[in-house]
Structure formats: structure tokens, C-alpha cells
Structure 1
Amino acid sequence: MADKLTPQQRSANMARIRAKDTKPEMLVRRMVHGMGFRYRLHRKDLPGKPDLVFGPRRKVIFVHGCFWHLHACRDGRIPASRRDYWAPKLQRNAERDAEHLAALRAAGWQVLIVWECETKDLAALQSRLAEFLETEE
């Protein structure tokens, strides 16, 4: 069983979790830049403030953490403890993601979501990014 953390330790851990410049996001940014694509970061005028925005192409990329955005992988599960707290919080994140996705698509943007677990297979990730960014639609 995992070590129990005091409320202060748990708070310190949670305070270190970032919304921007996460390891998976930085990896995707470096990969896309290395492929020769240029982008803007976190445009506030777009729904959900996408992580990478390719304005002239009308394409955006979100890099989602599996836990925070309830991905279907092993890491996207709701914690067993304090389900009454975590379930609504994480469900609302997923609902908000769907709202942002719908709004972007309605405005004519193409959207790619890269999940944190997908950053472990770099070759597959690079292929997926290239396919998304190089296709004209």
C-alpha cells in the first residue's frame, strides 16, 4: 500500500502540478518544432486555450494529461479514495474538453488531442503529428 501523506504533503504535491509547460507538452513542442512547424502557445482567444496553435493552417493541438482529462488508459482512472471529490471534478474537466472541442470545430478549426500516455512511443507520436499537420482539409 502507498505511504499515507499528510494534508500538507498532499497540498505541496498538488501545488506542483502545472497547467502549462508540462513534460508531455514540452516534448510535443520540441518534436513539432524539429519537424519545421511554427506555432503560437495557449491563445486565449480560442476555446480551451489550445497548447499549440497553427493559425494559418486552422489547426490546434491539445496535450492532455491522462489523469486530469479522464483518458481511457490505465492512468485515466478516478482515484479509489475520496471519489465524492474526484469524480465530479474530473468529469467536469472531460465535459469542458468536449465543449471546447465542439466550439473549435464549429469555428472551422481542426483539433488533435495528444494524450500523455501517447508520448511514450515517440515514433508513433511523430507519425501522428506529421499526418495531422501535413494534411490539407
Structure 2
Amino acid sequence: MLEIKSAQWRGGVWRDPGTGVCWLLVAGLAKGDHQDVDDFYVQIKRQDEQGKPERWLPSEADVRILKRETAAHLRTEWELGIQFELLNGLRAIHDGGTYLFDVDHILPGKGRIASVEISIVQERPVSGNADGEHFVPTDDIVVEFMPRS
């Protein structure tokens, strides 16, 4: 276990050799010149003397929660990446044009799952028609999704 210090706070971090994940296993305050019953080091020593330091290791529930949090983070980053690419495309063609980008699988190395093409055509009439109607400038925006198998 690695010791982490911040002011009076202490933490014990363990790196899981199988996954490389660092777990904060125990935390507390260093106080009372390490004589206080609630002192971080006194608590660790007491657990070590009782032969129960394994109680600090991550439980099956902890591992399940980590998997869910990792999946949620991966999905959020993937979605934000697509939104960022879409924003870049709209900025590049806001005066008209076409922008094409690829959407990769959420898992790295799994390849492309789709291409997206955004087109903007500006409609800018010079004047009204013979009946005196006035035309309003518009932008036609087309978004085309081309999925891959």
C-alpha cells in the first residue's frame, strides 16, 4: 500500500496488479502525535495486528461499480467527441458547403461505425417577385448518416 499525504490527511492506495487501477483503501487523519486512538497510523496498526488488512481490498460490489463508472465515462467521452466534431463541421461550413466526418466505434480499435455528412445551402434571393412578395433568406441544412455494417 502506498501512503498519500495532504496536510493532516493520510490515505492508503493499492494498485491492482491485474487492472492497473489504483484504489483508495483507507483514509483518515494523522493526529495526536500518532498516539490518538483515531489516528490513521494507529488504525492501520490495529487492523494489521488483527490480521484483517484484506478487509480494505475492493469488494465485488466495488468492482461492479468501477465497471459501470468506466463504461459511463467512455460513453460520455465518445458522445462529446461526436458533438465536438459536429460543431467543428458547422463552424467550417456555416456560410455554405459540405463537411464529412467518421464516427468510430465506442471501443478503440473496433473501426468506423458510420460516416456523417453535413451540408448547408444558403438561399439568398436578391429581391421579391412580381407580386411584391419578399423572400426571407434561409439556410437548408441536410445531415446524412451512412452506417457501416
Tell me the TM-score range normalised by the shorter chain. under 0.3
More strand by percentage: 2
Pick 1 or 2: higher relative contact order, CA cutoff 8 A, min separation 6: 1
Greater helix proportion: 1
Structure label with greater radius of gyration: 2
Output the TM-score relative to the length of structure 2.
0.24
